[in-house]
Chains A and B, each alone.
Chain A
Amino acid sequence: MTENLPLAKAINLGLAKALAADPKVLLMGEDIATLGGVFRVTEGLKAEFGENRVIDTPLAESAIVGTAIGLAMRGYRPVCEIQFDGFIFPGFDQITSQLAKLTYRHEGSQSFPIVIRVPYGGHIGAVEHHQESPEAYFAHTPGLRVVSPATPHDGYWMIQQAIASNDPVMFFEPKSRYWQKGEVDRETPPGAFQASRVIRMGTEVTLVGHGAMVAALLQAADIAASEGTSVEVIDLRSLSPIDYAPIIASVQKTGRLVVAQEAPGHVSVGSEIAATVAERAFYSLEAPVMRVSGFDTPFPPAKLEGNYLPDADRILEAVDRALAF
């Protein structure tokens, strides 16, 4: 049985299930308790689980992460919400210098099962610091796991899998998809947590992306199909580690790969996939791996975001270049 739910509600239900299943799970962040979060992802959870498990914190990102580390040492499994992508950097030191390294520093005697939820990405017409895609910083950092759900079904299950992980997980939520509905099956157990997944079969070009970009990839695939080009689409789902097996298998079939992301392209997740596919599937490639990215500029003022963010047309332009080789 499935239900048609928006992503925000699916994550909310996943959080509620995790809170109910394990008394050590805590939610903490700015405005998450009484207000339910600025995106209402935690709405109703304080009423259901109490103010000691759904905790409004003072306004300090470094302390949200740093105290979550101490709570994990005491046996809790904190789920931190960072209010917006661009506000994560005051907490960057605690995430990268402390959280990411503490299991290693403890030589395994202590786990740090902390989830950091980050609404990320553009398409919402917001002011500066509210539309960014900083996931590459964290994917570059050993000791962190980085995931991003593209659908409500994955939102429901992946947040629970992230909380169940014994490692720190950066959980990037595509905020432009929060209110898009999709089918959620709350009965069927989920697949592997950090597996990438072929979500549309095709034969001529492979498209790879994560988060909100997945919808654009599917839209591009539809348009390509209407023009007679068969496109395979892979939802990356995990940015660290990256599950390459489905990508390599797909490229061995199609010979062409386009990687799309909202983030700037320089030293990005897309760059890493392009390099790895070139190393591992060189003789299968009929064309260079193409990257479609945000530009290497700060995120522009919102009236220009339509020109900045990759969309189906930009993806198809790269598909055309790949096919022309």
Chain B
Amino acid sequence: MSSDATVQLLTPDGKLVSDDRTSEYLPWIEKLPESRLLDFHRQMVVMRRFDTEAGNLQRQGQLALWIPSIGQEAAQVGSGYAAAPQDHLFPAYREHVVGRIRGLDLMRIIEMLRGLSHGGWVPSETGNFHLYTLVIGSQALHATGYAMGIALDRLLDVSNDGAPTLRDPEKDAAVLVYFGDGASSQGDVSEAFTFAASYQTPQVFFLQNNHWAISVPVERQSRTPLYLRGTGFGIPSVQIDGNDVLASYAVTSANLLSARSGEGPRLIEALTYRMGAHTTSDDPTKYRENEEVAYWGARDPIARYEAYLRGQGVGDDFFAEVAQEAEDVAADARARTVLLQDPPTTKIFEHVYSDPHPLVDAQRDWLAAYEASFDTADGIADLEGAP
């Protein structure tokens, strides 16, 4: 639950909070062009509509699974836009809109959850948005290693006079890694905190506390507010209202700048709520109360931000245009999903290794011969045994 320590720039009814505490962060908002402030809303609305469409596609048998992010749009959109182009983002598996902001075609996630790939997008072509990781918390270590690499680049790349190259927070990269309240109990996350603090890596840990790890409430994961965990590792930490897109943007921006400036790692806990199921395979009515869902429904991140924008004078035309764009994106996703073709069976054997591997090659050839044998009169009798 939020407390006086929670950074909030927008009240639930969309009023800007101007006080001593927010003065540190408000300049990040003030320097944004209006177009970007409108992008925040656009991305949140499009993502929610996409989530609904993808859920429907799953119910209609077009996807094996969908992982909805409804309710978490503000935490994700704000932090996603806070990352600079050169930054590297390591998602868990629910940060679809962050990928979209970085240039990932959401169809790549559709393909993964239809059973056509294990991800397979190329991070250097998707704004350094790395692949999803399904083993909870494992990506925290990959992100930390990546950040160690950024730090080592500087230490090892000495100029002619023997001095390390100068730091440039405008050009240097930082790492932003996403995980959840459930992952906070994983050893890998604690080990990532340890390594990040030890090597003073340029990275921000972004913990979305959506209050539920499938059916287990956050109270079972931790008896202390999760942002306080960072303090014990020597990582400066802050808790934000994760349903406030302006807080998510401003606080993540400030912390990424600190990381890029050589001040070491940071932890942000964003308090939010998973309004939907864990995945389409889940039934949250079995473990949580309607009152709780209603409480968070009244703190909806999109309604809050729409109220703010309307207060700033944004008119109906904009909201109608965004609603239409969301419908168009959803319709396009549906149209493209039903046309997706299954991959060739050779995909089973591709890229198991980077260098040639005799066993995999032999098994690929055997399967091709086996499948081809059904097309011949002789059947499979002539095949050698499976390698």
Q: Please report A residues at the B interface, Cβ cutoff 8 Å.
A: 23, 26, 52-53, 57-58, 60, 62-63, 65-76, 90, 93-94, 97-98, 101, 103-113, 142-143, 145, 165-167, 241, 279
Contacts and interface: CB of A to CB of B under 8 A. Distances in A.
Interface string B173-208: 000000000000001100110110010000000000
29 contacts: A53-B156, A58-B191, A62-B188, A63-B141, A63-B144, A66-B191, A66-B192, A69-B142, A70-B141, A70-B142, A70-B144, A70-B148, A71-B146, A71-B148, A73-B123, A98-B138, A98-B142, A103-B352, A104-B118, A105-B118, A105-B120, A106-B119, A106-B122, A108-B354, A109-B122, A142-B360, A143-B353, A167-B354, A241-B358
Contact of A66 (B131, B142, B149): B142
Best-surrounded residue of A26, A72, A76 (most CB of chain B within 10 A) = A76
Nearest to A245: B358
A97 B137 CA distance: 12
A93 B139 CA distance: 12
B357 A106 contact: no
B162 interface: no
Complex A-B, nearest 4 residue pairs according to Cβ-Cβ distance, in ascending order: A70-B145, A66-B141, A74-B149, A67-B145
B39 interface: no
Contacts of B357: 241
Nearest to B122: A109
A67 B355 contact: no
B113 interface: no
Nearest to B194: A58
A15 B146 CA distance: 23
Best-surrounded residue of B147, B149, B150 (most CB of chain A within 10 A) = B149
Nearest to B348: A104
Contacts of A62: 141, 187-188, 191
B149 A75 contact: yes
Nearest to A112: B354
A101 to B, nearest CB: 8
Nearest to A165: B355
B149 A107 contact: no
Interface in B214-239: none
Nearest to B143: A70
Interface of B: 117-120, 122-124, 130-131, 133, 135, 138, 140-150, 152-153, 155-156, 187-188, 191-192, 194-195, 198, 350-355, 357-360, 385
Contacts of A145: 353
B141 A93 contact: no
Nearest to A68: B145
B145 A66 contact: yes
A246 to B, nearest CB: 13
Contacts of A74: 145-146, 149-150, 152-153
A52 B146 contact: no
Contacts of A75: 149
A232 B141 CA distance: 47
A143 B155 CA distance: 32
B138 A108 contact: no
Contacts of A58: 191, 194-195, 198
Contact of B351 (A53, A72, A107, A113): A107
B150 A142 contact: no
Given A70-B148, A93-B135, 11 more contacts: A23-B156, A58-B191, A60-B191, A67-B144, A70-B141, A70-B147, A74-B146, A106-B131, A108-B350, A109-B122, A143-B353
Nearest to A67: B145
Given A53-B156, A69-B141, A142-B352, A63 B194 contact: yes
B119 to A, nearest CB: 5
